[in-house]
Structure 1
Amino acid sequence: MMRISTSGTRRWMLGTAVCGVLITGCSGGGDGGGAKPQAKPAAEAKPLAADALRPLLLTQADLGSGYVQVQEQSGEQKFDDISVQGCPALEKLGQSGEENMFAAKAEASFTYDRDATLGEEVHSDRPSVLSSKLRELFGAYTSCPTYTMTSGTTPIEVKVSKSVTPELGDEQFAYTSTMELPSGAQVLKTMAVREGNVAVMLVGAPALVDRHIKTAVGKLPAGS
């Protein structure tokens, strides 16, 4: 059984992975004068600070009528009673704890017409780190088509499937999860787009995520 890490997982159960994006040069021989010096790796963009990420979050003005922003709870309050069984990749992810943290984060949550939700996180780190951890995270959550999540003493069956992503940013990731709750099935879509050293993640009703992901990505700094 895996206890979900508050540092690596939000309410929408995001996850991470690996892709080195450092550009390395090539070396070659001259006509008789020896090898050319090897090109230096391109310098990666540094992470932005949390204060610089907050203005990048969606606002009620961006979303339109019907949305109400809600106060965030601390990570400890949100996840200290949630565990997962039946998915080895998620168990391994939960054990990594602080290793799944990005350098900086800002977040916001909204309700829509009272019964729908939309959550957003904006993360920043070096591009190679963001890419690596996003691939690991989304890889873990899409590795098991079904697993059981326990909230307190209530077992919840979860079904997961990969989702199509729009051509935005440098990398895109998405999956849809269906949770069989006592009150009925709830469907959530999780989508992340990385643009350089910043990544935006949305989770909520699939229609809301699809409707607002382009606006969310559009708020990221160009060439970040």
Structure 2
Amino acid sequence: MAELKPLAEDALPPLLLTQEDLGKGYAQAQEQPGDRKPDDVSVQGCPSLEKLGRSGEKDMFAVKAETSFIYARDATLSEELHSDRPSVLSSKLSELFGAYISCPTYTMTSGTTPIEVKVSKAATPELGDEQFAYTLMMELPSGPQVLKTMAVRKDNIAVMLVGAPALVDRHIKTAVGKLSAGN
């Protein structure tokens, strides 16, 4: 049997979560110009993440769509959808998540601010064909912040949620459920 091909670029946005999917209290985040400056962030003390940063993860998959939400004014939930051949998604997600959990601690520098990061592998629900998850605890100048990243691959689509752990856990099943409409 031939391996599934990536979806067309316009097929992913309709599969993203919406405010209606999430329920009350969520607002679509409006990205401001200049919000994302990945060149301003570097990693020290974790060779696998340093290597990943040099190779550039932004063009890791053939097709991508993304959205983000704010919940109760301060918690965030971001979603990325990726489509590629299943073998490519599997291999690259394994590499990405493996890099993160390979170092239990490292330092991330944002601008000139060093941020201590602790990483732990996280449990995943039995959804889709493959599941990956980790939790980051960052010591920010404003205080500690915990973020969970979870990805689920289903055929030739992967959904990745990043945000407050309770929000990721609460919405991953809905996000994966929407993937069925893409195939």
TM-score (norm 2): 0.95
Partner of 2:81: 122
Partner of 1:109: 68
> Where does the alignment leave 5 or more consecutive residues of structure 1 unmatched?
1-41
Counterpart check, 1:139 vs 2:98 = yes
Counterpart check, 1:164 vs 2:123 = yes
Partner of 2:48: 89
Which of 15, 18, 31 pairs up with 1:59?
18
Contact 1:195–1:223 (8 Å) recurs in 2: no
The total of aligned residue pairs comes to 183
Larger radius of gyration: 1
Partner of 1:80: 39
Whole-angstrom distance in 2 between the partners of 1:161 and 1:136: 16
SS of match in other structure, 1:220: helix
Map 1:186-205; keep pairs closer than 5 Å: 186-205=145-164
Whole-angstrom distance in 2 between the partners of 1:76 and 1:115: 16
SS of match in other structure, 2:180: coil
Whole-angstrom distance in 1 between the partners of 2:156 and 2:149: 20
Contact 1:170–1:196 (8 Å) recurs in 2: yes
1:91 Cα shift? 1.1
Higher helix content, 1 or 2 = 2
Contact 2:6–2:85 (8 Å) recurs in 1: yes
CA RMSD, 1 decimal: 1.8
Whole-angstrom distance in 1 between the partners of 2:117 and 2:87: 31
Whole-angstrom distance in 2 between the partners of 1:47 and 1:155: 38
1:221 Cα shift? 2.0
